[in-house]
């Protein structure tokens, strides 16, 4: 009765738990992002203001947390859909691998951009 399903992995407690945690972080960081950019900042979204903000360590930290949370949360969501609806093992493994690679690429480019950013 128990068929092996390739590309689905085992366990899953960490993925489930961390998706909940990142969900909570997203509520905070998204609200913060939205409130700051549209209200607290007085709608002053200019190149100069943005570059200056992205140069401060505090905003770098917030954006790093934001980035990791968004990518992980979204990735888990897509993986969940893939695991639920893609039944052909080869297709599923390929999609799961693609999602992971895409997640890594997005995280790395994002981290590099945020960490190395300095106001010109």
Partner 1 sequence: MAVRKFKIFRFNPENDSKPSYKTYEVECLPGWTILDALNEIKWFQDGTLTYRRSCRHGICGSCAMQVNGLNGLACELQLAPYKKDPIVVDPLPGFEVHKDLVVNMEPFYEALKRVKPWLINEDAPPQRERYQSPEEFLELDNSIACILCAACTSSCPSFWADSNYLGPAALLKAFRYEFDSRDKGFEERREVLDNKHGLWRCHKIINCFHACPKGLNPTGAISKLQQKVVTEKW
Q: What are the residues binding partner 1 (CB under 8 A)? A: 1-3, 5, 8-13, 15-17, 80, 83-85
Contact, 71 vs 18, CB < 8 A? no
> Over the Cα atoms of the chain, what is R_g?
18
Contact between residue 98 and residue 89 where contact means Cβ atoms under 8 Å apart = no
CB of 17 or CB of 34, closer to partner 1: 17
Residue 46 or 84 with smaller CB distance to partner 1: 84
The least CB distance from residue 10 to partner 1, in Å, is: 6
Nearer Cβ to partner 1 (11/42): 11
Least separation in angstroms between CB 41 and partner 1: 37
Q: How far is the CB of 79 from partner 1 (least distance, A)?
A: 10
Tokens 């407690």, residue? 13
**Least Å distance between CB 6 and partner 1?**
12
SS (HEC) of 63-117: HHHHHHHHHHHHHHHHHHHHHHHCCCHHHHHHHHHHHHHHHHHHHHHHHHHHHHC
* 103 close to 39: Cβ distance less than 8 angstroms: no
Residue with smaller CB distance to partner 1, 17 or 36: 17
């Amino acid at each position: 009765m128990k068929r092996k399903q390739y590309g689905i992995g085992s366990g899953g407690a960490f993925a489930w738990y961390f998706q909940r945690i990142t969900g909570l972080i997203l509520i905070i960081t998204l609200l913060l992002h939205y409130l700051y950019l549209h209200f607290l900042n007085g709608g002053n979204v200019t190149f100069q203001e943005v570059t200056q903000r992205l140069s401060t360590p505090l905003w770098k930290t917030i954006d790093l947390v934001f980035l990791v949370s968004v990518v992980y949360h979204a990735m888990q969501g897509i993986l969940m859909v893939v695991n639920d609806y893609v039944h052909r093992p080869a297709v599923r493994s390929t999609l799961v691998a693609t999602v992971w690679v895409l997640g890594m690429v997005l995280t790395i480019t994002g981290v590099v951009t945020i960490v190395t950013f300095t106001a010109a």
